Amino acid sequence: MKKWILRCLLLLFTVTFLVSGGLLLNYYWKDAEREADYDKLSNMVDSVRQEPQYDVQLPEYEQVTDPKTGELRQILREYAHVYLLNPDMVGWITIPGTKVDYPVMHRPENTDYYLKRDFFQKSSAAGSIYVREECDVFAPSDNITIYGHRMNSGAMFGELMEYKEQSFWEDHRHIRFDTLTQRNTYEIFAVFKISASTKNGFPYHTFVDMTEEEFTEFVNQCKTRSLYDTGITPQYGDHLITLSTCEKGRSNTRFVVVAKGNL
């Protein structure tokens, strides 16, 4: 009887080990596949940026047919061919010196559509970098909230956590967030942690199009909560972007990086 029990336990442990190992291998395989897909997209953009006379060569835009509407659109040359692969793309975000170098998605008619979907709309635990539904990157809104998962590998918005240290901010204070039609650079002015609950925290994502009074309140709230003083204070009329991700080990806490640009 004891031998039979031991054999059953051994079989159970073996099956559990094999299943767990298989799931782990599948996770890493999908993660590698996802990163390879994003590398291909990034290479498509970089290949245009590396063309001779990229900064001065005309035309600056390429005319493409919108896959959704059939209308003709003028898209910045470096993003035109990536946009045709998925017209939910509204821009590209890069933080020089980090892994943040991704297309930015937006589907206003579906809440958190890209939370668990990659650029090609395939199921993905890492999701995509995407804009909050109420925001408009082309108008643009006074404040555009951009979400991304914090991956342990540092992918997506994983490296935002490095902004806990002021020294990291000093070396990486600028964010490039281009739309499909305009190249933009923003400067980070606040970094803070906050509860995801709107009852207990600061609902930063609700500040979209603001009056001067609301703008001042938003900026003051961000600077007051900031982990350190950057010495930068946006003025009404500046356009803002707010990068949001989950804090490491705390699913109910958000880590937020806010930057200003003069568009």
- Report how far residue 261's alpha carbon sits from residue 239's, in angstroms, rounded to the nearest whole number: 5
9 Cβ neighbours under 8 A, 6+ residues apart: none
Query: What is the domain extent for residue 115?
Result: 95-261
In a domain, 101, yes or no: yes
Per DSSP, what are the bridge partners of residue 186?
175
In a domain, 6, yes or no: no
What angle is formed at CA 137 by the lines to CA 132 and CA 142, rounded to 5 degrees?
85
| Residue 22: per-residue pLDDT | 46
In a domain, 100, yes or no: yes
User: Under a CB-based contact definition with an 8 Å cutoff, are residues 61 and 74 in contact?
Assistant: yes
CATH number at 122 reads 2.40.260.10
Tokens at 171, concatenated: 């070396």
In a domain, 65, yes or no: no
In a domain, 18, yes or no: no
| Residue 56: per-residue pLDDT | 59
Q: How many domains does the chain have?
A: 1
pTM: 0.86
| Residue 195: per-residue pLDDT | 85
User: Under a CB-based contact definition with an 8 Å cutoff, are residues 169 and 182 in contact?
Assistant: no
pLDDT along the chain (263 residues), means of 10: 57 50 46 80 90 66 91 94 96 96 97 95 93 96 96 90 97 97 97 80 92 97 97 96 83 91 78
In a domain, 75, yes or no: no
In a domain, 120, yes or no: yes
- Report how far residue 198's alpha carbon sits from residue 19's, in angstroms, rounded to the nearest whole number: 39
